[in-house]
A = this chain, B = another copy of it.
Amino acid sequence: MHAISLAHVRATRAALPPATCHNCSARTRCLGGGEEGASLERLEHSVARRLPLQRHERLFHRDESCFQLYAVREGQLKTQRRAPNGICQVLGFYLPGEVLGLDALGSGQYGCDAVALTDSVVCVLPYPALTRQLSEDVVLLQQFHRMMGTEIARRQGSMVLLGNARAQQRLASFLLEQAACSQARGETPCSFQLRMPREDIAAYLGLTVESISRLLSALRRVGALRVSNRMVEVLKPELLQQMAARADAAHDSG
């Protein structure tokens, strides 16, 4: 039903006022946000167009030349990269206000594939126009750097997780991360819907689908979660935090 409502939105968009940065629901979290959106006008000038994406549609792929970045306006996307051995590693999930393609600024080519997890809308930011706006507005420049710094820090966090943590810890961290995202969107952190299949969670955490499923069941058994398909209710957040931090905790005897 989620897809239906989004389709409806798109169908009636022609009748609505045109999409701008000022009427974007993610404007406070995006570039140009904060400080009452002082630089929002400049960001608007950097946006070439808005691009709707269907679920599973690919925004860009690895090694493609990069002339533009993309800001998520609605929906959710993932980035992933196929390892030499064929297995796919999910690198990150992107919510409204976040920017895709930053890794391409190094080589001029995207370093991963970007795929829509749900029907989405992204804002196209051609790099030349963006650069011009950045060099004319120091606040926007610093926000852009903050965004890139955050991206690096996120990846570092993932490295720590993938390099050291046991499967339990990884999943607990992931769930807490999702809860935080839910809270950031203004909803309750105790209950949220996973927008991605188990396979993507597994590929993000460096595990297999089976392990994810087993671990979720284990969390359900100890009463930490209630899971129904992709709906998650966190019943014992403190237990999750404990599991994210320590390697032991929560072995069931049934």
Indicate with 1 or 0, residue by residue over A128-170, a CB within 8 angstroms of chain B CB atoms: 0001001110100110011111111101111111111100010
Is the Cβ of B106 less than 8 Å from the Cβ of A245?
no
Please, which residue of chain B has its CB at the minimum distance from the CB of A161?
A: B83
Interface residues on A, range: 35 or more
Is the Cβ of B85 less than 8 Å from the Cβ of A247?
yes
User: Of A97-105, A115-123, A210-218, A225-233, which stretch is located at the interface?
Assistant: A97-105
Residue A221 is within 8 A (CB to CB) of chain B in the complex: no
Is the Cβ of A89 less than 8 Å from the Cβ of B164?
yes
Main secondary structure of the interface of A (DSSP, over half): helix
Is the Cβ of B146 less than 8 Å from the Cβ of A106?
yes
Q: Which residues of the other chain, B, contact A111 by a CB distance below 8 angstroms?
A: 152-153, 156-157
Is the Cβ of B85 less than 8 Å from the Cβ of A156?
no
Residue A45 is within 8 A (CB to CB) of chain B in the complex: no
A156 CB contact (under 8 Å) in B91, B131, B246: B91
Partner-B contacts on A (CB < 8 A): 81, 83-85, 87, 89, 91, 102-107, 111-112, 131, 134-136, 138, 141-142, 145-153, 155-165, 169, 203, 205-206, 244-247
Q: Which 4 A-B pairs have the closest CB atoms?
A: A105-B149, A163-B206, A106-B150, A106-B149
17 chain-A/chain-B pairs, Cβ below 8 angstroms: A83-B163, A84-B169, A84-B244, A84-B246, A85-B246, A89-B159, A89-B160, A102-B149, A103-B152, A103-B156, A105-B149, A106-B153, A131-B138, A135-B136, A141-B141, A145-B148, A155-B155
